[in-house]
Amino acid sequence: MRVLILGGTGEARALAGRLHERPDLHVTSSLAGRVREPQLPPGDVRVGGFGGPDGLADWLRRERVRAVVDATHPFARTISDNAVAAAQRAGCPLLVLRRPAWEPESGDDWRPVPSMAAAAELLPELGERIFLTTGRQGLAHFAGLDLRFLVRTVDPPEPPLPPRTTVLLARGPFTVHDELALLREHRIEVLVSKNSGGSMTSAKLTAARELGLPVVMVQRPPRPDVPSAGTVEQAVAWLDAVPRDHAG
């Protein structure tokens, strides 16, 4: 059975690793190509877009794919929407694999917001020194703010950026010890994060809690109305239940 994993996350790589050695499956992982040096999963990998939902649907039919797992980032809304439309057009079962969202703990001071624009609007009333950990995309929302920003991304961000910005290039996982040192070194007053979930970058939340810092938390977009799983094990079980005689 041919399976497409829409990847780019740790869960996608773990799923590809679990399925790679199985003789009953042929797995292809697809990466959007937005990271210059992505961490590649085992097995076949394709990089780049499909040309929207129609292009993806054509690819699914041409490659006779019988199941799709959308294991993209929780904030990759466009890719997820395209996957739903393409799977419907190709008559292909689709599962969304998303790691659980972070939940506030005792001592947290979270300020939930629905979007990056809302986060930018809230910042001036919270502090002067901001640790922005939302990735490369969407930084333009903060470009008009005369605040001090420490921006951490995997690859260099593109303008426009806030006028007073220090860029830190780094890839997780991060430790609580190092995050505390970073926050203290830059005298950070506010942390901004997307609710991505997972353990790779959660140490910053623990560090903010220990220092009593407010966290502006951008909430996830709604999950597509399709079957979903929160773990790799659940995704494997779903794939095992897909009929092998599906037309594709």
What is residue 247's predicted lDDT score, i.e. its pLDDT? 42
Q: What stretch(es) of the chain map to CATH 3.40.50.720? A: 2-100+222-241
246 or 17, which is more confident: 17
Task: Say which CATH topology domain 110-218 has.
Answer: Rossmann fold (3.40.50)
CATH class as words, domain 2-100+222-241: alpha beta
What is residue 34's predicted lDDT score, i.e. its pLDDT? 67
Check residue 224 and report its DSSP letter: P
Q: pLDDT, tens digit, for every residue of 88-132?
A: 999 999 999 999 999 999 999 999 999 999 999 999 999 999 999
